[in-house]
Amino acid sequence: MAKQSFLKGAFILLLANIIVKSMGFIYQILIVRMISPEGIGIFNMIFPLYITALVLTTAGIPLAVSKYVAEETALNKRESAERIFSSAVTLLFIFSTIITFFFILIAPTLIKTLYTDSRILPAFLFLLPALLFVSLSSTIKGFFQGLQDMRPTAVTQLIEQIIRISSGFLLIYLLRPYGLTWTAAGLSLAVFLSELAGLIYLVTLYKNKISRHIFQRPSLTIIKRLLSFSIPISITRITSSVISTIEASLIPHQLKKAGYNLSQATSFYGELSGVAFTILAIPSTLTFSLATTLVPAISEAQSRKQQQLLCQRTSDAIGITIIAGIPCGLILFFWGPIITKLLFNVTQAGEILRLLALGSLFLYLLQTSSGILQGLGYVKTNFLTTTIGGLIRISGIYFLGAHAIFGPSRIALSYVTAYFTVSLLNLFIIKRKAGISLQQGFFPRLLLAGIQLCTALTYLQKIVAHNLLLLILATFVLAFLFLITLFLTGDKYSYLIITHLCEKIKKGNV
C-alpha cells in the first residue's frame, strides 16, 4: 500500500472534507429551513450526550492504533502493526456492544435527569445503535491512517455524507407530519444509516487486506499498550463531551431563568449550535485534516528521533492553520449577519456568529495544536488544557448567561475566551517540547493581506447583502486573493498550499 507524505495525506483529507462539509453545510441550511431552529435544537441538544457515549465506546483506541501502527511501520515491523489492529478490533467490539446496551437501558432516566425537554429521547435512542458501527470503522480508518494512507478515510466520509443527506431528507419528508419530536428522531436515524454504510464500504473494499488480521487472538500486552495511550485521550474526550452535554442543558436553563420560554430557549440553542457553530466550523475541514495526519506523521518523526523534521511538520501545520483561519475569521466577523440571513433565514445567529468570529483563529489553532500534542504523546497535557477550556465555558454560561438582553452575547464570548486561552497554552507547550519555527516575515505579510481583506469586506458589504450568489462568489474570490497576496510576497505556507493544489489538478486525481 502506497504511503503518502504528511502534506499529501492532509491534502487528500482536505479535499474530501471540503466536499463533505459543503454537502453537510447545504444539508444544514435546508433542514433548518424545513424544521425550524427549534427542531434542529432538539437534535443538536442530544448530540453531545451521544458523543459522550461514543467516546466511552471507542476509548481513544483508533487514535492509539494510528500512532502505534505508524511507529511500528517506521521500524519495518508490519506484522506487529497488524497485531495491534487485530487486538484493537476485538477490544472495541466488546466495548461498543456493552456500552450500547447500557445506554439504551438508562436512556429514559438519563434524559429526564439531564434535560428539561423530553422531546429529545427518541432522537437519542435512534442514535445509540450507531455506536458499534462507528467504533469498528474508526479502528479500520486508524489502521490505514497509521500507514499514512488517507484514502479510505476520505472515501468513507463521502459515502457516509451521501447516505446521511439522502436518508435525512427522505425521513424528514415522511416524519414531519408527526411533529418535531419524530422529525428530530429521523435525523438520528439518518446518522445511523450513514455509519452503517461507511462500515460496510470499509469491510467490503478492504476485506482482503484486513480479514486475515481481524480474527487473530488478541494480545494482552498489546491491549495494555493501547490502553496506556488511549485512556488519557479517552478521559480528555469524555471530559470534553460531558462539558458539551452540560452546556447543551445549561444554556436553555439559564435563558429560561432570564425569561425565555422553552420554545425560545430551544430555538436559541438551535441557532447557536445549528447555524453559528456550523458556519464557524467550515475551516475545520483543514484543521481536522491536519490533526488526523499529524498524529502518525509526528509519531513517525519522533520514533526516528528526527527533531528537525518534527519541528518542520509542526511549524508547517501551524502556519497553514493561521493562513486559513485569518480570512475565515474576518469574513465571518464582517459578513456574519448577512451570511446567516441569506443562507438560513435567521437573524439572531448572525450577531452571535460575529462574536464567535473573534475567537475563530484560536479555535482552529486549538484543533491543530491538539493533534500535535497527541502525536507527541502529551495526551495528559492535552486533557489538562481541554478541561481548563471547558471550565471557562461553563463558568461563563452559568454566571453570565442568565440575562434577558445580553445573555446570548455573553454565552458566545465565553466560548471565545476558552478558545483563546487553550490555544495559547497548547502553543506554549509545543514551543517548549518540539519547537515552532515560523518563516521570517510571516506576520508582517499576514498584516498586509489582512488589511487588504478588511478594506474589501467593508467596501463590498452592501453589494453582497441581498444576493446569495454574489455573497458566495465574493467569499471565494476574497479568500483566494488573500492567499495569492501572501504567495506573491514570498510566503512559504501559501506556496505549499498552492503548489500542492496545482500538482493535484495536473495529475487529475485526489
Kindly report, residue by residue over 358-403, the tens digit of the pLDDT.
999 999 999 889 888 877 878 788 889 989 999 999 999 999 887 7
pLDDT band at 169 (very low <50, low <70, confident <90, very high): very high
Environment class of 255 (CB within 10 Å of its CB; exposed 0-12, middle 13-18, buried 19+): buried
Say if 444 falls within a structural domain.
no
Side chain identity, residue 160: E
Distance between CA atoms of residues 60 and 129, nearest Å: 19
Residue 447 falls inside a structural domain: no
509 domain-assigned: no
Alpha carbons 447 and 440: distance in angstroms, whole number:
14
Domain count of the chain? 1
User: Over the stretch 301-317, which tens digit does the pLDDT of each residue have?
Assistant: 777 777 787 788 888 88
Residue 41 lies in a domain: yes
Domain of 275 in residue numbering reads as 6-438
pLDDT computed for residue 501 by the predictor: 65
Residues 183, 204: Cα–Cα separation, whole Å: 32
pLDDT score, position 420 = 96
Contact 218, 61 (CB under 8 A): no
Distance between CA atoms of residues 455 and 473, nearest Å: 17
Model pTM?
Answer: 0.74
Q: Do the domain assignments include residue 492?
A: no
If you write DSSP's letter for every residue of 68-111 in order, what string do you get? HHHHHHHTT-HHHHHHHHHHHHHHHHHHHHHHHHHHHHHHHHHH
- Smallest CA-to-CA distance from 328 within 455, 483, 158, 501 is with 483
- DSSP single-letter state for residue 216: S
> Does 342 map to a domain?
yes
Question: What is the distance of C-alpha 238 from the center of its chain?
Answer: 15
Residue appearing with cell numbers 488480521: 213
Who's near 136: CB < 8 A, 6+ residues apart?
89, 92, 93, 96, 199
C-alpha span between 168 and 123 (Å, rounded): 13
**Residues 68-127 pLDDT 10s:** 888 888 777 877 888 888 888 888 888 889 989 999 999 999 888 888 778 889 999 999
Helices (H), 258-306: 262-271, 277-280, 284-303
Among candidates 232, 195, 234, 177, which has minimal Cα distance to 59? 234
- Average pLDDT score over residue span 156-170: 92
Query: What's at 492, amino acid-wise?
Result: K
Residue 503 lies inside a defined structural domain of this protein: no
Asked, for residue 95, whether it belongs to a domain, the answer is yes
Contacts of 196 (CB under 8 A, 6+ apart): 130, 133
Do the beta carbons of residue 159 and residue 197 sit within 8 Å?
yes
